[in-house]
């Protein structure tokens, strides 16, 4: 973690490799990776970037504005799961092993970095299977969970029934996005919990009908999700505070943390 590099991009060498690294608002390095073979992950990142593109929100290098979901290399510069303190002093999953990062630029400068992990289940839809999906997603988001892997999760449903069932478990939670890509062609019915009404019919993933829709319609941003997403970047810890908090962490016996699992320093 390097607070002085928060919201910047650079090249970092590790061994014989040179990586593209983007630092989030807390100075945690996220290594940009290459597309993977997992079909649900490929489908998720395509769906979400298509949504940005159709809404004219995809990053445009000519203007330096917009957002884009990028693959993350979980074996890059930093590959160990851990926690950081957000701008309010609360624990937040560092997200360095999540599948993707969503980077937002304004006038050529990085203003936000979010981590996203894709999840799916091939189980037949039932109360038990949806319970298991909910538990898995919560464990990925929760800083005290077993996985504590990402600040946000996109669940790739295998049917409209599964999409609606999982959506109902996370109503108002902006850290969870549920999608169903349908048959993957115009004329199919799609689902996106970050769109008003959820169901999208007869048009491509991410395309908005005239007059509304889009991911802004259903998310209730800041809705208190388990991921505790705070992106304002204030109150970055100084080097001295970092060192002091480090030995306090050892005294508490915390494990697998980037900064600590205790309260942030007050001085």
pLDDT in tens, the chain (267 residues): 788 999 999 999 988 999 999 999 999 999 999 999 999 999 999 999 999 999 999 999 999 999 999 999 999 898 888 888 877 888 889 999 999 999 999 999 999 999 999 999 999 999 999 999 999 999 999 887 678 899 999 999 999 999 999 999 999 999 999 999 986 666 778 999 998 667 654 333 333 333 333 333 333 322 333 333 332 333 333 333 333 343 333 334 444 445 444 455 444
Sequence-separated (6 or more) residues with CB below 8 Å from residue 102: 48, 67, 68, 69, 70, 112, 113, 114, 115, 116, 152
Q: Which residues contact 135 (CB under 8 A, 6 or more apart)?
A: none
pTM equals 0.76
- Cα separation, 168 vs 172, in Å, equals 9
pLDDT in the model for residue 92: 86
| Spatial distance between the Cα atoms of 143 and 160, rounded to a whole number of angstroms | 30
Judge contact between 140 and 153, C-beta under 8 A: yes
β-pair type (152-156, 176-180): parallel
**Widest distance between CA atoms in the chain:** 60
């Amino acid at each position: 973690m390097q607070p002085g590099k928060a919201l910047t991009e650079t090249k970092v060498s590790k061994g014989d490799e040179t990586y593209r690294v983007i630092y989030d608002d807390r100075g945690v390095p996220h290594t940009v990776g290459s597309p993977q073979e997992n079909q649900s992950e490929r489908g998720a990142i395509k769906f979400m970037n298509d949504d940005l593109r159709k809404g004219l929100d995809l990053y445009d290098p000519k203007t330096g504005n917009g957002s884009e979901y990028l693959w993350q290399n979980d074996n890059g510069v930093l590959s160990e799961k851990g926690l950081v303190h957000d701008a309010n002093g609360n624990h937040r999953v560092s997200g360095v092993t999540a599948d993707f990062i969503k980077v937002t630029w304004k006038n050529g400068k990085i203003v936000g970095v979010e981590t996203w992990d894709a999840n799916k289940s091939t189980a037949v839809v039932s109360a038990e299977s949806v319970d298991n999906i909910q538990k898995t997603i919560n464990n990925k988001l929760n800083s005290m969970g077993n996985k504590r892997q990402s600040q946000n999760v996109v669940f790739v449903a295998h049917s409209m029934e599964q999409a609606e069932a999982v959506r109902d478990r996370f109503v108002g939670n902006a850290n969870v996005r549920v999608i169903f890509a349908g048959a993957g062609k115009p004329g199919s019915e799609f689902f996106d919990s970050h769109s008003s009404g959820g169901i999208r019919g007869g048009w491509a993933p991410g395309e908005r009908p005239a007059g509304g829709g889009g991911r802004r319609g259903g998310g209730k941003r800041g809705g208190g999700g388990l991921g505790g997403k705070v992106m304002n970047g204030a109150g970055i810890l100084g080097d001295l505070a970092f060192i002091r908090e480090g030995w306090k962490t050892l005294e508490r016996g915390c494990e697998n943390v980037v900064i600590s699992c205790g309260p942030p320093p007050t001085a």
